[in-house]
């Protein structure tokens, strides 16, 4: 029931996150002004804003000018719904329960996880599109996740060590390369993963991010879409690794990381 409800809720949050990402870098406020058709700029009616359903009912076209609506909107809504559903699902599988979980605080744990999932979605898309991981999302994320983890009774030391090691890993590369290998945003996203996961799961998320990043780079080189020298934004790989560790981390570290 909870899984279904949160997946459904995820459709609407996904729609909202899409607006946040679209309006990033423009002067338009996220909360002011109705969404409009990219083509004819007619404001969309409430009935045209229902996640996924509107897209299907309108056959993917604007009600007024019949211009095609980008499939990225329903895709974003579906991905958010799936991630929200998986986040709720993990709490039904004993093996996937987070460290320090107490059933009394299920709502708080879920809230923290969904906040984390949503932040990573925003950071994934903005980094993929603009090549930056803006402080306006990473810094409040670090503060909120740290505060919630302390509230949930996770030792402060665990969070500090996790944040310092995972963030420090990028800070080291940043200083050695004078900011050419990684950006300052990667340091902050590293700290966010560290305070979310603690040391061992935080390092696990780093390893997974590098495996996915390397695989992706190889595919690009193999398809000759990128030269050996070109650089990729690393944020999206960290975000994917964050989702994997959030949902499957306890399982992976129990069976594949005996140390």
Answer whether 17's CB lies under 8 Å from 76's CB. yes
Answer whether 199's CB lies under 8 Å from 165's CB. yes
Which C-beta is closer to Zn ion: that of 65 or that of 176? 65
Q: How far apart are CA 25 and CA 137, in angstroms?
A: 13
Which C-beta is closer to Zn ion: that of 67 or that of 102? 67
Q: How far apart are CA 6 and CA 1, in angstroms?
A: 9
Which C-beta is closer to Zn ion: that of 74 or that of 213? 74
Residues that bind Zn ion (CB under 5 A): 37, 39-40, 62, 64-65, 67
Query: CB of 41: closest distance to Zn ion in angstroms?
Result: 7
Query: CB of 64: closest distance to Zn ion in angstroms?
Result: 5
Query: CB of 78: closest distance to Zn ion in angstroms?
Result: 23
Which C-beta is closer to Zn ion: that of 40 or that of 93? 40
Which C-beta is closer to Zn ion: that of 33 or that of 131? 33
| Geometric angle at alpha carbon 94, from 91 and 95, rounded to 5° | 110
Query: CB of 56: closest distance to Zn ion in angstroms?
Result: 17
Q: How far apart are CA 54 and CA 68, in angstroms?
A: 13
Tokens coding 10: 């995820």
> How many Å is the Cα radius of gyration of the chain?
19
Query: CB of 35: closest distance to Zn ion in angstroms?
Result: 11
| Geometric angle at alpha carbon 136, from 111 and 177, rounded to 5° | 115
């Amino acid at each position: 029931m909870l899984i279904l409800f949160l997946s459904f809720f995820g459709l609407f949050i996904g729609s909202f996150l899409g607006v946040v990402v679209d309006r990033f870098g423009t002067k338009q406020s996220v909360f002011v002004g109705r969404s409009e058709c990219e083509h004819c700029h007619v404001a969309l009616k409430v009935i045209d804003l229902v996640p996924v359903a509107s897209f299907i009912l309108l056959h993917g076209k604007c009600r007024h000018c019949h211009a095609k609506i980008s499939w990225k909107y329903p895709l974003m809504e579906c991905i958010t719904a799936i991630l929200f559903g998986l986040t709720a699902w993990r709490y039904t599988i004993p093996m996937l329960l987070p460290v320090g979980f107490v059933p009394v605080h299920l709502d708080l744990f879920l809230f923290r996880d969904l906040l984390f999932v949503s932040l990573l979605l925003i950071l994934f898309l903005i980094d993929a599109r603009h090549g930056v991981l803006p402080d306006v999302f990473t810094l409040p994320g670090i503060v909120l996740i740290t505060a919630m983890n302390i509230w949930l009774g996770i030792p402060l030391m665990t969070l500090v060590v996790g944040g310092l090691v995972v963030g420090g890993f990028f800070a080291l590369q940043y200083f050695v390369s004078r900011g050419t290998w990684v950006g300052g945003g990667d340091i902050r996203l590293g700290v966010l993963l560290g305070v979310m996961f603690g040391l061992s799961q935080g390092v696990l998320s780093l390893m997974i991010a590098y495996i996915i990043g390397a695989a992706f780079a190889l595919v690009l080189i193999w398809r000759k879409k990128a030269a050996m020298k070109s650089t990729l934004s690393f944020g999206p790989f960290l975000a994917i690794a964050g989702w994997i560790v959030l949902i499957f981390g306890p399982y992976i570290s129990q069976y594949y990381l005996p140390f």
